[in-house]
Chain A
């Protein structure tokens, strides 16, 4: 099989229980949600995301949403759902 990978520098903004931090990583820009969530979970647990406590439960981001922005800097936002407003 021929896998085409697009490895690049990705800025991931992670939010967890009101804490927020940025994590810069080389990864496939086409990664699926589960892969991105797994990378984030490991990074937070390893203390590599300033601003977020490493004490993260398993599957912490299971119900989270990933926004992808492919501008000058590829950016993923790992966030809780935001259904409220009015």
Chain B
């Protein structure tokens, strides 16, 4: 099965890290570059500073674990969405903005592709994993509001990332679609 992670930042990088031994065809798309501030909350080592995130994840998985994935170092847009997603069996949306999430959602609904989304609240107070039919795209309340970029958010980021990877695993096993509510104190699946 071909699985594409859309976004290789906080959630995407950690979910990919956890999903690395799934015996499937893994890939990631992200246009962004690794910055110093990302080392606090995303799965990147300092040797990757300045590199594209998708490429950095590919290099880390290959160098540390001998796992090969496909990297797409581009921004997902309406012009390339069909090229990137057409051959994909499962889309994993870890984007950090409503516009990109909408692009993914519109595409998977039109093409009837399996898709699971994950998102985090400002200040890391809550996170969700939702299969597409249950997912509502949330806009930022205000531009520039608090994010989960700083220090201290790794526990919730990892908890959401591993819940996302668990949902992918359940789906790969028997097509079960499991949602999660994740708070700093507990995680509940349903």
Contact = CB atoms under 8 A, between A and B. Distances in A.
Interface in B164-190: 179, 181, 183-186, 188, 190
Given A18-B185, A67-B134, A79 B11 contact: no
A51 interface: yes
A82 to B, nearest CB: 3
A20 interface: yes
Contacts of A79: 121, 126, 128, 181
Interface residues of B, number: 41
A77 to B, nearest CB: 6
B184 A84 contact: no
B37 to A, nearest CB: 14
Contact of B190 (A17, A19, A20, A75): A75
B121 A81 contact: yes
Given A18-B125, A63-B141, A65-B136, A83 B183 contact: no
Interface in A41-86: 51, 63, 65, 67, 69, 71, 75, 77, 79-86
A43 B14 CA distance: 36
B137 to A, nearest CB: 8
Given A17-B125, A67-B134, A83 B12 contact: no
Interface residues of A, number: 22
Contacts of B179: 69
B147 interface: yes
Contacts of B134: 67, 69
Contacts of A17: 125
A75 B93 CA distance: 24
Interface stretch (B17-25, B59-67, B77-85, B95-103): B95-103
Given A18-B184, A51-B185, 4 more contacts: A15-B126, A15-B181, A67-B130, A84-B96
Interface of A: 13, 15, 17-20, 51, 63, 65, 67, 69, 71, 75, 77, 79-86
Q: Which 4 A-B pairs have the closest CB atoms?
A: A82-B119, A86-B7, A86-B9, A86-B96
Interface of B: 7-12, 30, 32, 93-98, 118-122, 124-128, 130, 134, 136, 138-141, 147-148, 179, 181, 183-186, 188, 190
